[in-house]
Structure 1
Amino acid sequence: MSARPPVRRELSLEDYVAGVRAGDVGMLARALTLIESNRPAHHQLAQQLLTELMPATGGATRVGISGVPGVGKSTFIDVLGKHLIDAGRRVAVLAVDPSSTVTGGSILGDKTRMGELAASPAAYIRPAPSAGTLGGVAQKTRESLLVCEAAGFDVVLIETVGVGQSETMVADMTDCFLALMLPTAGDELQAIKRGLLELVDVIAVNKADGPNARAADVAARQYRNAIDSIGSRRDDAPMVITCSARERLRIGDVWDAVETCIARRRDSGELEQRRQRQNLNWLRAIVRDRLLAAFESHPSVRELRAELEPAVIDSELPAEVAATRLLAAFGVGEEPRSE
């Protein structure tokens, strides 16, 4: 008979706190698994852990990195992370992956695509949690960010993909948002006009090497012109830089732009205000998500929804009236009076 694998002992709150604060990567991984768990018993322990670790959080540089598939994001993060480690930094990579809410897996945070970082004791890579909804993924990622900071990582890179809600969520948990672009503007230039400009702080046109170098310069110029013509809600317009992760060209320049952005915000007091605003948004998002979950799982609400929703769909009942009745069943407000 083959021997049974050893059963890992249950860790106490003190074990988790001591291990994370000591920078033990194995304990960090277990702590993040605890944070990501949906089991009620784990949820309570995770809350206690976060509370204990809070005094040790807030010291890291938080940077969001976005880019469409094929832009070279994994290679860029791998090379940037190595650049930072060579400068004495400890780097954690987390992911907000919209696909994980559908597939249950992750296309981001893949250690096999970040070979140098994965091999470094000064780095930690964590794929996106499978949390059921993008809001759930974002919440778990925020909490993971705090745990990584408490473990002594002084740079936390949060990667996401595409243009949309996931990028907004990443921007709302980081100090600086970096968008990686391909060396052909086209549709990506339109994406900036549609809203990315409101989020991005640094634009890096990647793959600016060999035959793509000239196209990258043209694309960078187009982005700068678009920024000038569109204008910005901020005084600090996004910086545009060309780089090549594959050839390790101007990666340091990209990071210098990130640090310049953050330093400017720190000196003006905007960084502190930004983090305070993010904390408040975080609180409100958690309350909103939990209220919605409680509402949707309420027995009286579930029973009444089966009756009211078809009537709303068929335009037989105003949505306002149906909402009032559902909220009354949940215990908020009163049933509408019948004449």
Structure 2
Amino acid sequence: MENNNKKYSALHEKAGISPPEIISSSAVEQIQESRKIQPSSIELFRGILSGNITALSRAITLVESSNSNHLTKANEVINACLPHANKSIRIGITGVPGVGKSTFIEVFGKHLTGLGKKVAVLAVDPSSTISHGSILGDKTRMEELVKDANAFIRPSASGETLGGVARKTRETITLCEAFGFDTILIETVGVGQSETAVHSMVDFFLLLKIAGAGDELQGIKRGIMEMADAIVINKADGDNIRKSNLAKVEFGSALHLFPAKKSGWTATASTCSALTHDGIPEVWQTIEKFIELTKGNNYFQEKRTEQNQYWMLETINEQLKSNFYDHPEIKKLLDSTKSAVQNDEISPFAAAQIVLKRYFKE
């Protein structure tokens, strides 16, 4: 401990401040780590273009950081990468927990790298810091894909809000495209709001299902099915083949009941097995047909332009919300107005107006 204090005192002496009497080993290591020279934004940018995976990982870490200095540096890297991005196919993959997303993505990703593709796998999971969900285990469960030189797997960033995690994923896409990944797979944690966020950043949206799962999610199934460009019944192997084929027919019939898509594409239903690899090549063939159609009728570029505008507005909304709740005066006022609302001294709507007027006056 005495030795650590001497190291820490030396650091503080250089910084021109008085050191505390006691300092832990971990704190000393953190200070020493912070003193290491970090690469500049231009060095990270050059590293990304040259195919340096460490530079890509560091840049993504900057994007994920909540530090304002890191945000400035991240924006510099992203802006530099923009002219080298937008050359990939972005595929969103969703499905309820247990449908086999990770296994499917590993087999599908290996199929794509076998075709000479460079694949990046990203995840949108705003709940991971609370529930410690399975998304963060993807790198350990995709044992073959993680060892593939033409693949890159990045678990979702820590975050409490969907908007924040989704925005970081959207910016990570730009970095991965500039690096040279031509196929981006974006996985969602399950079924819910994250589907809408992912749909707004991909070209093709794939919904994974399994036969015989029941209709427990009937209430939200329609909305997600309407977003889907293809429904794939996974785990179509062994005794499950017959049920999977029946499910394919049912979902195929249901898809024809939905309104026509602006893309001119008719959503398809098919089966596959991540275990036997049956149907996996056909999934990619379906995506290729979709891309050929939408690039031919200009929908592909129109959708990307709309998505860029959407994320600009979403980022503005998120920043305004963050600034509002982080404002010191608003924090104090919120505490008092919450108590007044709870005691029925003022209506929620009147209380909200008071807080908002104070904020805009400030």
TM-score normalised to structure 2 length: 0.85
Tell me the equivalent position of 2:295. 266
Tell me the equivalent position of 2:186. 158
Tell me the equivalent position of 1:275. 304
| Further displaced range: 298-307 or 12-21 | 298-307
Specify every segment of 5 or more residues in structure 2 that has no aligned partner in the other structure, as ranges: 4-28
SS at match of 1:194: helix
Comparing both structures, which one devotes a greater share of its residues to helix?
A: 2
Tell me the equivalent position of 2:271. 242
1:291 aligns with 2:315: no
Q: Partners in 2 of 1:263 and 1:96 — Cα distance?
A: 27
Tell me the equivalent position of 1:49. 77
Residues 62-81 of structure 1: pairs in structure 2 closer than 5 A:
62-81=90-109
SS at match of 2:306: helix
Q: Partners in 1 of 2:108 and 2:343 — Cα distance?
A: 54
Q: Aligned residue pairs: how many?
A: 331
1:120 aligns with 2:148: yes
1:104 shift after superposition: 6.5
| Further displaced range: 38-47 or 96-105 | 96-105
- Contact in 1 for aligned 2:123/2:189 (Cα 8 Å): no
The sequence identity of aligned pairs, in percent, is 43
1:329 aligns with 2:329: no
Change (3 A) 1:135 1:104: farther
**Who wins on radius of gyration, i.e. which is larger?**
2
Residues 1-339 of structure 1: pairs in structure 2 closer than 5 A:
9-103=37-131, 107-108=135-136, 110-184=138-212, 186-187=214-215, 190=218, 193-232=221-260, 234=262, 235-331=264-360
Aligned amino acid, residue 312 of structure 1: V
- Contact in 1 for aligned 2:45/2:80 (Cα 8 Å): yes
Aligned amino acid, residue 141 of structure 2: R
1:300 shift after superposition: 2.1
TM-score normalised to structure 1 length: 0.91
Q: Partners in 2 of 1:304 and 1:204 — Cα distance?
A: 51
Aligned amino acid, residue 21 of structure 1: L
Q: Partners in 1 of 2:193 and 2:289 — Cα distance?
A: 26
SS at match of 1:71: coil
1:60 shift after superposition: 0.5
SS at match of 1:107: helix
SS at match of 2:39: coil
1:173 shift after superposition: 0.5
Specify every segment of 5 or more residues in structure 1 that has no aligned partner in the other structure, as ranges: 334-339
Aligned amino acid, residue 121 of structure 1: A
SS at match of 2:148: coil
- Contact in 2 for aligned 1:99/1:107 (Cα 8 Å): no
Q: Partners in 2 of 1:37 and 1:253 — Cα distance?
A: 39
